[in-house]
Amino acid sequence: EVKDKGRAHYRFFHTEMNESFSNAVMLESHLRRAIEMDELSLHYQPQVNLITGDIESFEALLRWNNGKFGMVPPSQFIPLAEKTGLILSIGRWVIEEACRQLNSWNNKGINTRVAINISPKQFFQSDFVGHLKWALEHFSIEPSSLEIEVTEGAMEDTRTMVSVLQEVKETGIIISVDDFGTGYSSLHYLKRFPIDILKIDQSFVREMMRNEKDAAITQTIIHLAHHLGLEVVAEGVEEEEQVNFLKKFHCQKAQGYFFSKPKGSMETEAFLLEYKKESKQLQ
Ligand code: C2E
Ligand code: MG
Ligand code: MG
Ligand code: MG
């Protein structure tokens, strides 16, 4: 009896496993063709200077719209892309697309900076910096108009990372640490890596008006950035009270749904036109 139960359970589990397995395989095979099928795009979320109210930069966020799966969220396909190595070709696409967009915006008189997310694996590609330089030149982009966001997870292989980031820094590209405060070796690498910007992780910002610890951590990261001569950006700002709190502690920039959700490039252009009209009132 026990054996039978075991077998039935096994069979059930087996089918479920097969299903999710074939789903994952299918998702991967679709992701493999996402670039050639023209299914990827970048959305842009403004980063607002809290003193002037100006939109100084945008974060580029990858979107995948697949014929079979529809809109697949980054939380699902980025880990898959990282596991399969597809992140290398996707990451190259992101770099080129961001530079192409910057070039197009420059031609329309929109001068801004775009921050792109870089996966740990990309830093260990032998031509990573070479490709960045190529893209800047090919699309006639000022290096300081491009920013790369590095997560703390990438900071592990210290020797390689220090030299790659040093090379990136020498090109004039801006370097920021994404999701700051969620990794484990933060203070150590602040000393060793040529960083320009800290981005306070949204998990601290989200609760900071209700949770004293989150408020204390946010203040401390802002002070830390000031003492180190770094710029600081708060992520995930959704409420006006959060903006006021951040202003009070002299956080330079903020990003979040309070200002705008990430939007496609056309919508972003429209938003910029609208925003200029309102920027005086916003201060
Ligand atoms: P991230 O780089 O920390 O990006 C911020 C995420 O927070 C984005 O989610 C953004 O849409 C969301 N967000 C912005 N403001 C708010 C807010 O006020 N409230 C809330 N609740 N969320 C907000 P998204 O676009 O789903 O991206 C998730 C993650 O996927 C990113 O986190 C990043 O780690 C990764 N990712 C996105 N695009 C790329 C890419 O091109 N390359 C790589 N390697 N990773 C990417
Ligand atoms: Mg980011
Ligand atoms: Mg982040
Ligand atoms: Mg994140």
Please tell me whether the interface predicted TM-score (ipTM) of this complex is above 0.95: yes
- The residue nearest atom 46 of ligand 1, judged by CA position, is 117
101-109 average pLDDT score: 98
Ligand 1 near 61 CB (within 6 A): yes
Ligand 3 centre to CA of 4 (Å) is 49
Ligand 1 near 221 CB (within 6 A): no
Listed in sequence order, the DSSP H helices in 111-250 are: 120-123, 128-138, 158-171, 186-192, 202-206, 212-228, 240-248
pLDDT at 9: 55
Ligand 1 near 236 CB (within 6 A): yes
The 10s digit of each residue's pLDDT in 204-225 is 999 999 999 999 999 999 999 9
- The residue nearest atom 41 of ligand 1, judged by CA position, is 62
Convert 71-94 to b/e letters by CB count within 10 Å (16 or more is b): ebeeeebbeebbeeebbbebbbeb
The 10s digit of each residue's pLDDT in 117-157 is 999 999 999 999 999 999 999 999 999 999 999 998 777 77
pLDDT at 61: 98
Sign of CA dihedral 81, 87, 93, 98: positive
CA distance 45 to 97: 15
Tell me which residues have their CB within 5 A of the ion that is ligand 4. Answer: 179
The 10s digit of each residue's pLDDT in 168-205 is 999 999 999 999 998 866 688 888 999 999 999 999 99
Ligand 2 centre to CA of 172 (Å) is 19
| For residue 49, pLDDT beyond 80 | yes
Res. 100 pLDDT band, cuts 50 70 90:
very high
CA distance 108 to 155: 37
Our mutation pick for probing the ligand 1 site, out of 75, 117, 178, counting the most ligand atoms within 8 A of Cβ, is: 117
- The two beta strands, 174-180 and 55-66, are unpaired
Ligand 1 near 46 CB (within 6 A): no
CA distance 82 to 94: 14
Report the nearest atom of ligand 1 relative to the CA of 119.
44
pLDDT at 91: 98
114 touches 57 (CB < 8 A)? yes
pLDDT at 280: 44
Closest to 235 measured CA to CA, from 151, 145, 174: 151
